[in-house]
Amino acid sequence: MADIESFVTELRQFVAEREWSQFHNAKNLSMLLASEVGELVAEYRWVPDVSADQHSRTEPARARIEDEIGDVAIALLLLCDRIGVDPLDAASRKLAKTRERYPVEKARGKAERPEE
Amino acid sequence: MADIESFVTELRQFVAEREWSQFHNAKNLSMLLASEVGELVAEYRWVPDVSADQHSRTEPARARIEDEIGDVAIALLLLCDRIGVDPLDAASRKLAKTRERYPVEKARGKAERPEE
Amino acid sequence: MADIESFVTELRQFVAEREWSQFHNAKNLSMLLASEVGELVAEYRWVPDVSADQHSRTEPARARIEDEIGDVAIALLLLCDRIGVDPLDAASRKLAKTRERYPVEKARGKAERPEE
Amino acid sequence: MADIESFVTELRQFVAEREWSQFHNAKNLSMLLASEVGELVAEYRWVPDVSADQHSRTEPARARIEDEIGDVAIALLLLCDRIGVDPLDAASRKLAKTRERYPVEKARGKAERPEE
């Protein structure tokens, strides 16, 4: 697995060469992320949930899913870099909150519910 | 910045303790990702694009945005771990394709267009 | 079933009273739509696909789903009204195109595929 | 403007001819909706908010946006029909709740905030 920081350096160069920084404010990048996630969801919309893992590992779907995940990761990293958020730190802090919100004893075996 | 692999190890333990693996097929996780990205987009929907970067760096929005980014990153890493995709490798391969699709000379200063 | 045009008239008054028209440009309304759809997806993310219809008809999920559908419909109608698109005309024209793209003989019993 | 009920009748026939009802459970249709909305958001992601209304009315973007709105409306109506929700009734009930949540005196001129 590569290193986030060196990949972000590559992303910055990619954007700078194309003079795309002018389009990459945080609002626009949140929309980029939403549209890329929409394409990832499209990949799974007609797949039964019990076959979804297998589908993800079988060509030609595999290659498309990797492409979509790549787009989502790029959009997320562009946004994080733009506004100075470390995605792993943010995830780590959020996981700590989620641990408290769903204590093991109460959450075991139960899907989170939107109303909780 | 922390290390993706060690964070994913934490995530696995978090899921295992709660016996949530049964809910975490790839289809469901793509939906988790879509709903978390929806919350991130909500943060920016009424913010003018010219103020979006500043908004992202100012409390109390800052804390909410970090939370939402944390949720998005967690959902993405859960999906990647479930189906055996390395997110940085996928991003790196996709960036290489995108470089070819948008050569510097043709793309400079122009926003990508959906029809391209 | 009520009439779209009279509901849109109500929506216009609702927005005008609150002086929210200034926030309701087409870009922002597309983001409102995305965030509301994210909430609807959240309702189904942990529900097995074989139980999703039943889940949709059973309280308390029923009331939440109706609320989310209401939000999605409102966002869509606000956008359509803002830019002068008749949603049923647009749907009807798109359905005609989709009929041609997926002729009965070739499409019968097969889910659309993203690559098609 | 056409009539929702007669359009839904057309939709049912379109689905029946293709034997697609088997794919159209509520979970899958919520994903269809999310992916179609992602395509609509893509149309606006690089457009400045101050130009978004004008962009929406100018070809060739106009035709693409109408297509995307058509897809979103179709997905929403398929879901509503599947689970027996009247979209305008749901919107009307939700608007009544939103009126109470954002009384004119308190909401005037202020964008809703996610934390409210």
Q: Which pLDDT does position B17 carry in this prediction?
A: 96
Q: Which chains are within 8 Å of D by 3+ CB pairs? A: A, B, C
Residue located via tokens 């920016």: B44
Left (φ > 0), alpha (ψ -120 to 50) or beta: where does C58 sit?
A: beta
ipTM of the prediction: 0.95
For residue D115, pLDDT over 60 is answered with: no
Q: Which pLDDT does position B2 carry in this prediction?
A: 66
Query: What residue of D is the nearest CA neighbor of A28?
Result: D45
DSSP characters over B42-80: HHHTTS-GGGHHHHHTSTTHHHHHHHHHHHHHHHHHHHH
Residue D116: band (very low, low, confident or very high) from pLDDT cuts 50, 70, 90: very low
Left (φ > 0), alpha (ψ -120 to 50) or beta: where does B109 sit?
A: left
How far is Cα A103 from Cα D53, in angstroms, rounded to an integer? 47
CA distance B65 to chain C (A): 14
Q: Using a pLDDT cut of 70, give the percent of chain C over it.
A: 94
Residue type, D90: A
Q: Residue D32: which of C9, C40, B12, A26 has the closest Cα?
A: C40
CA distance B23 to chain D (A): 14
List, for residues C7-56, the tens digit of each pLDDT value: 999 999 999 999 999 999 999 999 999 999 999 999 999 999 999 999 99
B41/C34 Cβ within 8 A = yes
The residues of chain A scoring below 50 in pLDDT are: 114-116
Q: Which pLDDT does position C111 carry in this prediction?
A: 86
C87/D69 Cβ within 8 A = yes
Give contacts of B113 with chain D, Cβ < 8 Å.
Answer: 46
In this predicted model, which residue has the larger pLDDT, C58 or C111?
C58
Terminal Cα-to-Cα distance of chain D (whole angstroms): 36
The mean per-residue pLDDT over the stretch B53-64 comes to: 97
DSSP characters over C5-31: HHHHHHHHHHHHHHT-GGG--HHHHHH
Q: Using a pLDDT cut of 90, give the percent of chain B over it.
A: 91
Q: How far is CA C98 from CA B32, C85, C94, D11, in A?
A: 29, 19, 6, 11
Give contacts of A32 with chain C, Cβ < 8 Å.
Answer: none
In this predicted model, which residue has the larger pLDDT, D116 or C57?
C57
Of B70, B85, B97, the CB nearest to A91: B70
Give this prediction's pTM.
Answer: 0.96
A42/D31 Cβ within 8 A = yes
A34/C34 Cβ within 8 A = yes
B91/A7 Cβ within 8 A = yes
Give contacts of A32 with chain B, Cβ < 8 Å.
Answer: none
D46/A28 Cβ within 8 A = yes
Of C30, C43, C113, the CB nearest to A114: C43
